[in-house]
Amino acid sequence: MNLRNIAIIAHVDHGKTTLVDKLLQQSGTFRDNQRVAERAMDSNDLERERGITILAKVTSVFWEETRINIVDTPGHADFGGEVERILNMVDGAIILVDAAEGPMPQTKFVLSKALKIGLRPIVAINKVDKADARIDEVLNEIFDLFAALEATPEQLDFPVLYGSAKEGWMADAPDGPKENVGPLLDLVIRHVPPPHVEEGPFRLLATTVESNPYLGRILTGRITSGTIKPNQAIKAMTRDGKLIENGRATQVLGFRGLERVPVEEASAGDIVALAGLSTATVADTLCDPSVAEALPAQPIDPPTLSMTFRINDGPLAGTEGDKVQSRVIRDRLMKEAEGNVALKISEGRDKDSYEVAGRGELQLAILIETMRREGFELTVGRPRVVFERDENGNLLEPIEEVIIDVDEEHAGAVVSKLSERRADMIEMRPSGGGRMRLVFHAPTRGLIGYQSELLSDTRGTAVFNRLFHAYAPHKGEIPGRRTGALISNSAGEAVAYALWNLEDRGPMMIEPGWKVYEGMIVGEHTRGNDLEVNVLKGKKLSNVRSSGKDEMMILTPPIRMTLERALAYIQDDELVEVTPASIRLRKAILDPNDRKRAERAKEAV
């Protein structure tokens, strides 16, 4: 049968998943009366809440007697490891670009990977119905991007469609006809070549892995050669040809719409999921026992940030979660590392901690959020940059390309703050509608915790995007948090009267009735030093009534610490305590005397 494999790649929030919704609806994959959730491909709870795609997923549609396998990919650079592997499964790609924002960092990242492996992308300019759309300028920017990424003449001759995924149409011109997404599917069939099939027995490169409670480990990839049937004998090999295991394909699953259905046979060129192997993982070759040579796999970009994951050893440990032992945390992290090749897990300094290295704060925050929803309790240290050394022993650090769209009135404050954080401005130009586009090369260290500061400086109007650029020589010291912390000196439940009396010391992070313990951070000190405070102190009662004594206390609302904000806020000697019900900040050493001794020892060194 006729077959096409394509990926839809774009920057976050440019409309990939919405477009897939329309392709599924208009190709007849759903019944007219079938109830389907909006953004049907975002099946994960966190994906729905945040409005982002975290895991790459496969679906398929029938159009003009051709089955088109479509891979929906993440738009955040933190999940770029997913995109790099997905491109090996497809023969074409749709580059979706916002008609107002134009090509953004993730567009550049995935496009460079697609061009490098020889794909000839289709460009779809989405959201042409927006009031601030700049269609012609965006098309020129896309062409310049292709040229800058050293596209071949064939790749530069890309077809262009215009449309609105939300309204459900694509056309050869920005003004329509606004009927359906059929022109896009027709173009895919004409422009994307059929899958390249090699001669020989069955071979498949595993691209994604997941765990299923009924089928065990499921590996997804494209069949390079041969055919596969249920119960057929197969083996798994590493990239360098070492045997991992022998086994059988207990089930062969094909993608039909949103469903994965068992198939009797799958042949070369098709994307399938296989069950039956217990240790094979991403980038391994699954093949017939007679095959001796593994398929080449793309190397994955190295992680740039690491965090320490520890057990929760605070006084409230075990009161809100049921998975608290270091062994359970280790097993969960190792399971995550199997399916997410962009993560690196290693043993920490002591037996109860583990170093987790990933692509960025968002990727690690998503992992922590997923674990807390599964019932885990743990403490997490401050994100740290993964340094490297060159041949001469000089220290190198990761540098990121930062693109910020901001109103002109706030551009000065942004430039000032980022220059303090050792960032170099590369470009500054108008982006339409009284806004400026600022491009920086900034050390990853300087961007930890910057996003919340940026939103404060720009009154929430800035759009912040970042992408790993390269390793460069160490840029020197970067100033950290300028304020100290208010630390509880006793355990119990916070009292409104005590919080009211402490308001002039700084904003609080807790509310009356919240449980606190010695060493827990309860607020932000207005000065640079830490201060121990008593949040349990109640009002002294007397038997004499006097005017003014019973006035109502109105407390300033506390600072709401989300997980990302807490990770960005803490210093090296502080931890974030994460439980299914709470996110607390605390000192790594809870006892004040031990804390002072540790500080004196550090100063002596």
Contact 193, 92 (CB under 8 A): yes
Contact 280, 260 (CB under 8 A): no
Residue recorded with tokens 């790649």: 9
Residue numbers belonging to the annotated binding site: 13-18, 126-129
Dihedral sign (CA 520, 522, 528, 534) = negative
Report the amino acid identity of residue 92.
G
CA separation for the pair 131, 99 (Å, rounded): 10
| 600 contact partners, CB below 8 Å, separation of at least 6 | none
Q: How many CA atoms lie within 13 A of 557 on its CB side?
A: 3
295 three-state secondary structure: coil
The residue among 417, 403, 424 whose CA lies nearest residue 472 is 424
Report the Cα 535 to chain-centroid distance in Å. Answer: 37
Q: In which order are the strands placed within the sheet that holds 203-212?
A: 243-248, 233-237, 285-287, 203-212, 216-225, 271-275, 251-256, 259-262
The residue among 372, 362, 359 whose CA lies nearest residue 320 is 372
CB atoms within 10 A of CB 281: 18
CB atoms within 10 A of CB 312: 25
Q: How many angstroms separate the Cα of 487 from the Cα of each of 8, 491, 498, 510, 528?
A: 49, 11, 13, 11, 13
Helices (H), 340-490: 361-373, 411-420, 444-447, 450-457
Contact 86, 206 (CB under 8 A): no
562-592 CB burial, b ≥16 within 10 A, e <16: ebbbbbbbbeebbbbbbbeebbbbbbbbbee
Residue numbers belonging to the annotated binding site for GTP: 13-18, 126-129
Contact 563, 542 (CB under 8 A): no
CA separation for the pair 503, 501 (Å, rounded): 6
Whether omega before 177 lies within 30 degrees of 0, making that bond cis, reads: yes
